[in-house]
Structure formats: C-alpha cells, structure tokens
Amino acid sequence: MTTRGCRLQIAAWLALAALAIVAVRPATAAGATAFKLRLQPVTLLYYYSAIDLTLDSTALAKLATPAAGTALPAKALTATAAGQNLTANAAIAPRAANRLTAVQLTLSNAWAVRSIGSARGGRTTVSARFSSGRNATLNGPAGSGALIRLSNLGVNPGRFAPTGLDPAKARQGALRMRLDLSRARSAGSYGTATIVITATTT
C-alpha cells in the first residue's frame, strides 16, 4: 500500500471514530432526596476526680477571730514583791472566738456543662449530693479524734438553658456546702467524702 493509500485509510478510520463519538449520547436521571437530622438531648458534664482544699493558717485565723479582734485594751498592773521576785497578774480574758459550726464554703467553677436540649422549653438541671447521704464526715489524722462535718451541699446555678456544644459556651458552676470545724483540733489531712454531681438535659 502506498503512503497515500495509508493516509486515506487512516483518515477514513478517524472519520468513523468521530461518527461513533457523535452518535453516543449520555443517559441522565435525576431525583431529589429529602434529608433530615434528628438530635437527641445530650449532656456533657466536666468535673474533677478529686479536690484537695488547703485552709492555711491565715484563713483559719480570720475565721476564728472575733469582730473586735484579738488586741485587748491597755492593762494597768501593780506588782507584788516576794523576796527578790516580782509578780503581776495580767488576768487576760480572751474574747470568745467565732463559732465555727456553720462555715459556708463555696468552690467556684468546680464543674461545667455543655448540653443540647429540646427546641421548646429545654432545660439543663444540675444537682449534687454526698454519697453517704445528706451529710458527710471528714476524719482527721489517725488517732487524733478530730473531724470535720459537711452538710447543706448544693450547686449554683442549678437550672439553665442548654448551652449547645460550641467550645466557647460551656456553663461553669459552683459547689456550696457548710463546714463544722468545731472538732477540727489537729493539723493534717481530713478525708474523705464523695460528692456525686448529676446533670440532666431535657
């Protein structure tokens, strides 16, 4: 076959291929799907596994010090002599210390919640209780007989609108309780009470 013949044959093939391409038409089908997403209420509760609170000497002194303070008025004394010894009785009578039977303790930002609730009237409620019941006891150092009683446990706030799951919208809250320190006679560690925090979203 001559070169011219080859060219003619190739041209014919290209023409046939072009006709084949033109003859193939795409088949198209379209449909609409309605998509909905349903979210159930969800609650994320953030809390500490343990809280170790220190009451330093300054805080304890302020709690116990009466409103009038510990400095008493000036005292005039008269000394008596016995041989080479002088004595004088200053007869100090300290003002009564504050009673430490109902010290209010607030632990701010002790827990946090993120939540999704129902569209209408959704609410997140938070509560706290001692695992031992209404009250709890922190026992002092072994053999000391010292103890601290805990009561009136609560949270603040206890009810609020769901926050959503935005990282910037967590709701922080406080734990509140009363301490009876009247039998805390020894320095050292007092423990342990378990606080159960419950958060529910509707």
Would residue 50 count as lying in a domain? no
Give the pTM.
0.77
Closest by alpha carbon to 43, among 98, 121, 124? 124
Would residue 164 count as lying in a domain? yes
Would residue 46 count as lying in a domain? no
Would residue 11 count as lying in a domain? no
Strand ranges inside 76-170, DSSP E: 80-82, 85-87, 103-116, 124-130, 136-139, 147-156, 159-160
When pLDDT is cut at 50, 70 and 90, the band that residue 97 belongs to is confident
140's tokens: 């002092």
pLDDT in tens, 36-89: 999 999 999 999 999 999 999 999 999 988 877 888 889 999 999 999 999 999
pLDDT at site 95: 83
User: For residue 101, what are the CA distances in angstroms to 63, 97, 111, 191, 198?
Assistant: 11, 12, 26, 18, 28
Share of the chain above pLDDT 90, in %: 71
Would residue 145 count as lying in a domain? yes
163's tokens: 């926050």
pLDDT in tens, 67-82: 778 888 899 999 999 9
Would residue 200 count as lying in a domain? yes
Would residue 10 count as lying in a domain? no
Domain enclosing residue 127, as ranges: 102-202
173 exposure class (CB count in 10 Å sphere: 0-12, 13-18, 19+): buried
Region of 151 please: left (phi>0), alpha (psi -120 to 50) or beta. Answer: beta
196's tokens: 């159960």
Dihedral over alpha carbons 179, 183, 187, 188 (to 10 degrees): -60
Angle at 135 between CA 129 and CA 138, to 5 degrees: 105
